[in-house]
Chains A and B, each alone.
Chain A
């Protein structure tokens, strides 16, 4: 039997939305308050969904400890209490939550093999959430 398991995590980070491809006026017009040069922060909620056959011996899709360890070491330690603009995934890229969602998927997908990475969902605030399921499958809700 195939089941989907979703785990929620939290991290806090700051960012500034600003693109070198736009003029200062365009940046202010497009990003509004998010263009504040000093940045601002969010308490992000990350949902990671993995899927697979339920192992008859353990009753699990994958060992939760392995998933927690992977997310802790690869995602939370990288992004928690950081300024996203200063981090490698956002060199030359605006740290929107869309891009952050994709970055998290792209980091986890090649290193987590215990189950299929089905979806990364990221809540920037209670009002905004973003999902990425790999190439060709990006969706956004707000």
Chain B
């Protein structure tokens, strides 16, 4: 009953079935090239941190002996032990930790409140304010630190309140770098929560603060985590404000401390410096290792420092 039209050319059954691999030659070749170039990129990107690690395991004797810099012949943990028992380094670490944690708390509170009201409670001027926040983010710290320095000196002259050379000043300053962007991220996340949730909550009798705490924060939690991570990374890595506003050794944060200890001295204890740098890079790296997806979400939520 079924019509089969015979056609010229290979007839059924005259050819053996030829088996093919799951990826054609063309696609396999592109894959090999991709891996090849990606390995090159990875080598480029990972050489400095790997080198930091290698150097940190070397004693100063081995470093000055100028043997193969890419290999450790006599690995030693002396650098680590020295640094971690040294009071100055631990003070740097402590300062950085306290500053970062405080800045994160302050920033998140301010940002979440502001973002919630800008995203949800439309009031006169909220759109302009949102744009204003965005623009404020674009003003770099390098433009602003000089007048701030002068202002602080001025306040010191007038009121005797010493704002320079105290690490806690950073807790006031660093939020300027983090609040605009965190607010921006949070506005995005909050705006994506469907309005029906608000209305359901209002009908259920919730006030605005309750809505924020019981609904928005839990639902936007990924955004909050991403913003917190961003905030921590930026405050931990901050160099300029620390350098400009703190000078005595016990007031320095980690990045400033390591660098200035280097720039001042004549003899570069590279082993210790690299160890210090590696340990200084550790907190963001550890957070990144565990929360990589939130990290990347924070990045792509809007362009950021790069």
Tell me if chain B binds chain A. Answer: no
A interface residues (Cβ-Cβ under 8 A, vs B)? none
